Structure 1
Amino acid sequence: MKKILLVCNAGMSTSILVEKMKKVAQQRELDVKIWALSNSEAATLDEEVDCVLIGPQLKFALNQVKENFPGKPVAVIDMRVYGTINGEKALNQALELM
């Protein structure tokens, strides 16, 4: 199982994006766990992840998030993908990172 974490400011949009990503993953029969945490919650996460996507509003925290997840791929979600809540493109971004 691949684990994809989205890091945000605990906003509602990210929760909706997670659900859309899960729906696409289910349609593709992918074995993934996708969830979202606030930046502060993610910093203390005690679970391994395979990939971290950051909401565009936290772009400024990219280096900090990378430090919290050494050796793991970390990227900012494209603003258009996030703004349109495009679960397919967000999932594709995560899969390409891994």
Structure 2
Amino acid sequence: MKNILLVCNAGMSTSMLVAKMQKAAVEMNVEAHIEAKPLTEAKMGLGDVDIVLLGPQIRYEKANVEKIAGSIPVLPIDMRDYGTMNGKKVLETALAKMGE
């Protein structure tokens, strides 16, 4: 089971992307727990995640999130994939970064 965390400002548009990623995971037969959190919650602790994906609107926070994440990879979501809500592409990118 892969644990993927999407981080953004408030979590509204990112939660739509999470739903599309979850649908893609089912279609791709990938076991994944995917959730979205606002940046303020993520800064309190990342928990047991395998990768952190940053919404394009907060990609400037990458270095700060990496400090919190330690060895957990932190990856900004491609602006085009985010804008088109391409859950499958975002999931594929995350899995590739995790070495899957």
Residue of structure 2 equivalent to 1:21: 21
Q: Distance in 2 between matches of 1:84 and 1:68?
A: 29
Task: In structure 1, give the amino acid aligned to 2:61.
Answer: A
Q: Residue 81 of structure 1 corresponds to which residue in structure 2?
A: 81
Q: For structure 1, which segment, 42-51 or 56-65, has the greater mean C-alpha deviation from structure 2 after superposition? A: 42-51
Q: 1:34 offset after TM fit, Å? A: 0.2
Percent identical: 49
Gaps of 5+ in 2: none
The amino acid that maps onto 1:10 is: A
Alignment of 1:35 with 2:35, yes or no, is yes
RMSD: 1.0
Extract structure 1 runs of 4+ deviating beyond 6 A.
none
1:92 paired residue number: 92
> Are 2:46 and 2:69, in contact at CA under 8 Å, matched by a contact in 1?
no
AA partner of residue 23 (structure 2)? K
The offset of 1:45, in angstroms, is 2.7
| Secondary structure, aligned partner of 1:88 | helix
- Structure 1 letter corresponding to 2:20: K
1:19, 1:51 → 2: CA distance? 17
Shift of 1:46: 5.5
Deviations 1:24-77 (A, max 9, x none): 001112111000001110111362110010000001100011111100111100
Normalization by structure 2: what TM-score? 0.93
How many aligned residue pairs are there?
98
Amino acid at match of 2:45: L
Unaligned runs of 5+ in 1: none
